[in-house]
Chain A
Amino acid sequence: MAKERNPDAAVVSQSAQPGDARSIKKSGVLWGEFAIKSWLASCSFISVVTTIAIVVLLLKETLNFFEHVSPGEFFLGTTWTPLFEPSSFGVLPLVWGTLIVTIGAALLAIPTGLASAIYLSEYAPDRVRRTIKPVLELLAGIPTVVYGYFALTFVTPALRNIFPDIQVFNALSASIVVGIMVLPMVATMSDNALRAVPVSLRQGAYALGATSYEVTTRVVVPAGLSGVMASFLLAISRAIGETMAVTLAAGQTPNMSLSLFESIQTMTSYIVQVSLGDTPSGGVAYQTLFAVATLLFAITLVINIISQMILNRFREVYD
């Protein structure tokens, strides 16, 4: 009946009745569907085109780079001094730096973010949630430069009180600050995911005598795992790609030491150093930037493929 039809579906013309295929075709609904579907599909292909463009851009110069420097030296060398004389092109210190900062940031942000999300969706009264969530999102918007200076002027001196040997540039500061930066991402997206879990599931568990802890850890979080894991992935991606805060907090000295108290350099920090710096284009030194960027791209690709495979195992669908 026309009355029960969705009043917002204004595309349907007056004369169409359910089942009257010829009239539906005449009313243009199906053409409209096709046009819209084409628009949506072309939007999706923008992302594919972007990736292709990035890969083409990076690969071209990377291949030039490998004409001058052997892949063996690049992938296995442990000294990275391409901008000094004499130069050396072992990329491992940069990979190590990226690893330290990303893992450190993830260790800080993921548990904290998830705990905050649980508090916001399961325990906090509505008013409290409505105030805190925007506050956390404000943390996400603070410019990365500010985080860098926060690390230098607050975090490192504070750390110095606990560890007197810590240097002015150090990896620990960078990890902490990047962790704070991606925390809101984890918290707010996980909160959304947890809230989307149907209330009936929780009620069923409570009815069986479960405590709130058991309901949360055994029912709600597993149900919302897809969204929660997506937030982890996004946070890690952001942490890997973070530049200015890391440069300001950890300095720019490629270093393979295990100590968190010394300056290190990440792949991303190096890329920015060269792009915005003084190196003339066309030389091997400039091409290093593309080689490092390609390596980073490849690493994130592998991580993402693995995570997609894991994620697909865990996805639960509720009706």
Chain B
Amino acid sequence: MPLTTEQENRNLLKRHRKARFFALFCATITWSSVVLLAVLLYQVSIEGFRWLDWQFISSFPSRFPERAGIKSALVGTIWLISLVALISIPVGVSTALYLEEFAGNGKISKIIEVNIANLAGVPSIVYGILGLAIFVRFFALERSLISGALTMSLLILPVIIIASREAIKTVPQGIRNAAYSLGATKWQTTWAHVLPASFPGIMTGVILALSRAIGETAPLIMIGAMTFVAFLPEGPMDSFTAMPIQIYNWVSRPQEEFHQLAAAGIIVLLAVLLIMNATAIFIRNRTERRMK
């Protein structure tokens, strides 16, 4: 028996109310995460602001909290992240392109896919052990920036690959077909159409991956990053230190002032992260548009 108009209206109202509630629910959750972030940032930085000044950024570590600074760690981190980006982004995106565009759907492809997903779950310390054995000892690169960068690149490669693959998958086949029909080769299509269309997704993956790299401590200590370094690295083969290592070291000291210094270090780290993300996000926003 068909519903009466009244029943239909009631049903419609109920469904729409449900939809409104759902929208509110999702909004609340999202804003709560934002609030949580604000709380976290406040907790972490409140102690540190007092110590944040030019002297802090331009001094080397010291046993006296008033004299200690984060210069060597800051420069080390910037060097490290730059090298990591230079290595991992091309390799990661190339892998994703190959797997999505050029490789078939055969056994080998599937194996590589499972393989990469697995690598994403390997703890960072195991990459540290790997890096020590391969880059520091076998390739005799010593405990240098390049060893650290190669190790960290291996660590974040799976994230970039998986995120890029998802982004490339979402490009409609129609775009590719149109290009082929005009006589373009596979690579021409990929470079000129698929890659730009998937750029926003790739950038998301890059942001997540580099954010992870900037905060890692354990694998760097394993391959031999130092904690006390009173000079700035002059090339990829120099020894180095990084901000998370310095922060962790300060936070483990008994003196309260060092804890506050650690908080200041965290603020600087987050600032670097913010700049890095802002660059990538800017690129992402410029290249983003909804698919029709």
Partner of A138, one of B124, B169, B274: B274
Judge whether B186 and A33 touch: CB under 8 Å: yes
Per-residue 0/1 for A226-253: is the Cβ within 8 Å of any B Cβ (1 yes, 0 no)?
1100100110111011111000000000
Min distance, Cβ B44 to any Cβ of chain A, angstroms:
6
Take A112-B33, A185-B208 as given contacts and tell me if A154 and B43 are in contact as well, using a CB distance cutoff of 8 Å: yes
A-B residue pairs in contact (CB < 8 Å), sample of 8: A46-B91, A53-B130, A122-B26, A133-B281, A136-B34, A188-B208, A275-B128, A319-B172
Comparing B58-66, B215-223, B226-234, the segment that makes contact with chain A is B215-223
Which A residues lie within 8 Å of B243 (CB)?
143
A153 to B91, CA, bound (A): 40
A164 to B16, CA, bound (A): 43
A115 to B112, CA, bound (A): 31
Judge whether A8 and B114 touch: CB under 8 Å: no
Per-residue 0/1 for A31-56: is the Cβ within 8 Å of any B Cβ (1 yes, 0 no)?
01100110111011011101101100
A134 to B124, CA, bound (A): 25
Min distance, Cβ B249 to any Cβ of chain A, angstroms:
10
Judge whether B33 and A116 touch: CB under 8 Å: yes
Min distance, Cβ A251 to any Cβ of chain B, angstroms:
15
Comparing A62-70, A79-87, A88-96, A206-214, the segment that makes contact with chain B is A206-214
CB of A163 closer than 8 Å to a CB of B = no
A142 to B215, CA, bound (A): 6
Judge whether A47 and B19 touch: CB under 8 Å: no
CB of A120 closer than 8 Å to a CB of B = yes
Which of B30, B34, B37: most chain A Cβ within 10 A?
A: B30
- Chain B interface residues toward A at CB < 8 A: 15-16, 18-19, 22-23, 25-27, 29-30, 33-34, 36-37, 39-40, 43-44, 90-92, 94-95, 97-99, 102-103, 110, 112-126, 128-130, 133-134, 154, 157-159, 161-163, 165-167, 169-170, 172-174, 179, 182-188, 191-193, 200-201, 204-205, 207-208, 210-212, 214-218, 221-222, 243-244, 247-248, 251, 266, 269-270, 273-274, 277-278, 281, 285, 290-292
Judge whether A189 and B166 touch: CB under 8 Å: yes
> A interface, by DSSP: helix, strand, loop or mixed?
helix
Judge whether A6 and B188 touch: CB under 8 Å: yes
Which A residues lie within 8 Å of B43 (CB)?
150, 153-154
User: Looking across the interface, which residue of chain A has its beta carbon closest to that of B92?
Assistant: A43
- Chain A interface residues toward B at CB < 8 A: 4-6, 8-9, 11-12, 18, 29-30, 32-33, 36-37, 39-41, 43-44, 46-48, 50-51, 53-54, 57-58, 112, 115-116, 118-120, 122-124, 130, 132-146, 149-150, 153-154, 180, 183-185, 187-189, 192-193, 195-196, 198-200, 211-214, 216, 226-227, 230, 233-234, 236-238, 240-244, 268, 271-272, 275-276, 293, 296-297, 300-301, 303-305, 307-308, 317-319
Partner of B172, one of A32, A138, A318: A318
A-B pairs, top 3 by smallest CB distance, nearest first, are A141-B211, A143-B215, A196-B170
Which of A43, A116, A227, A296: most chain B Cβ within 10 A?
A: A43
Min distance, Cβ A234 to any Cβ of chain B, angstroms:
6
> B interface, by DSSP: helix, strand, loop or mixed?
helix
A115 to B37, CA, bound (A): 17
Partner of A137, one of B161, B167, B207: B207
Min distance, Cβ A191 to any Cβ of chain B, angstroms:
8
- Give me 5 other A-B pairs in contact (C-beta within 8 A), A47-B157, A305-B114 excluded: A115-B25, A115-B30, A137-B207, A143-B244, A233-B162
Judge whether A308 and B217 touch: CB under 8 Å: no
User: Looking across the interface, which residue of chain A has its beta carbon closest to that of B23?
Assistant: A123
Min distance, Cβ B165 to any Cβ of chain A, angstroms:
8
Judge whether B292 and A244 touch: CB under 8 Å: no
Which A residues lie within 8 Å of B277 (CB)?
134, 137-138, 141
Which A residues lie within 8 Å of B290 (CB)?
195, 199
Which of B186, B291, B292: most chain A Cβ within 10 A?
A: B291
Which B residues lie within 8 Å of A242 (CB)?
123
Judge whether A188 and B110 touch: CB under 8 Å: no
